[in-house]
Each structure stands twice: as C-alpha cells, then as structure tokens.
Amino acid sequence: MARGPEKLFDMSVADVYVHYVNKIVRKGQSEADLDVVIGWLTGFDKRAIKKHLAAKTTFKDFFTQAKLNPSAKLITGSICGVKIQEIDDPLMKKIRYLDKLVDEVANGRPMSKILRSSS
C-alpha cells in the first residue's frame, strides 16, 4: 500500500474534486469558479476537466498531462501548515498550488487576484 506523498499522487482527482466542490459551495461559492481556477492552473478546459474526473485520472497523470500556467510560481503562502515555496517535490508543489487556489475560491478572494499575472 502506498504511503505518504505517493498515496496522494496515486489518488484520483475525482475523489478529491468532490471535496473541493463541497468546500467552496458550503462557503457560498460556485463549482464554475472551481473549474475556472483548475483550468487556469492546468490549461484544461471544462470538457477536459470533466473527462479527467470521469476517467478517475490520478493526480500524477493529471499534472503530467497539464500545461502548468507559468504564473503558478506566484502562488505562495501556506497550505496544510507548509509554505508552498518550500516544497521541493514538483508534483506535490502542483497539488498544493491547486489546494491553495481552492482555499482562495472558498474564501471569496476576487478571481482577478486568484488568477495571478506576472505582469
């Protein structure tokens, strides 16, 4: 049985997506906003996101196929008690970028600030 980060890497994005949706809806935000930030981070359109969810794509495969937004490096702060900028594992960093974006959507941060721009 996989332990530690490997367990998360092999987990289906769909299994976590439902928790993301529940979190943001509980705080008065919409699933559409969630798809916008996932799309911004990964380059996937809504149809591609839904395809990955239906296929039960693992986080490892999801981010392998993603075209990470170059501005993702501007995502900083802590998630799960760890500073994102201090995470060494590239895949874990991408997963934590997503977690941070979900938190920001749930907390009602303006989309213009969530979708960071390097300009």
> What whole-number distance in Å separates Cα of residue 55 and Cα of residue 93?
23
Look at residue 3 in the predicted model and tell me its pLDDT. 55
Q: How confident is the model at residue 118 (pLDDT cuts 50, 70, 90)?
A: low
List the structure tokens of 3: 């332990």
* pLDDT score of 77 more than 70: yes
The answer to whether 62 and 15 have CB atoms below 8 angstroms apart is no
The answer to whether 3 and 54 have CB atoms below 8 angstroms apart is no
Exposed/middle/buried for residue 102 (C-beta within 10 Å: 0-12, 13-18, 19+): buried
- 22, containing H or E segment: helix 13-26
The answer to whether 98 and 41 have CB atoms below 8 angstroms apart is yes
Q: What are residue 12's DSSP bridge partners?
A: 58
What letter does residue 80 receive in the DSSP assignment? T
**Structural domains of the chain sorted by starting position, each given as residue range(s) with its CATH number in brackets:** 9-112 (1.10.8.290)
Predicted TM-score (pTM) of the model is 0.90
> What whole-number distance in Å separates Cα of residue 51 and Cα of residue 103?
23
Look at residue 69 in the predicted model and tell me its pLDDT. 96
The answer to whether 105 and 33 have CB atoms below 8 angstroms apart is yes
* pLDDT score of 115 more than 90: yes
Mean pLDDT of 37-46: 97
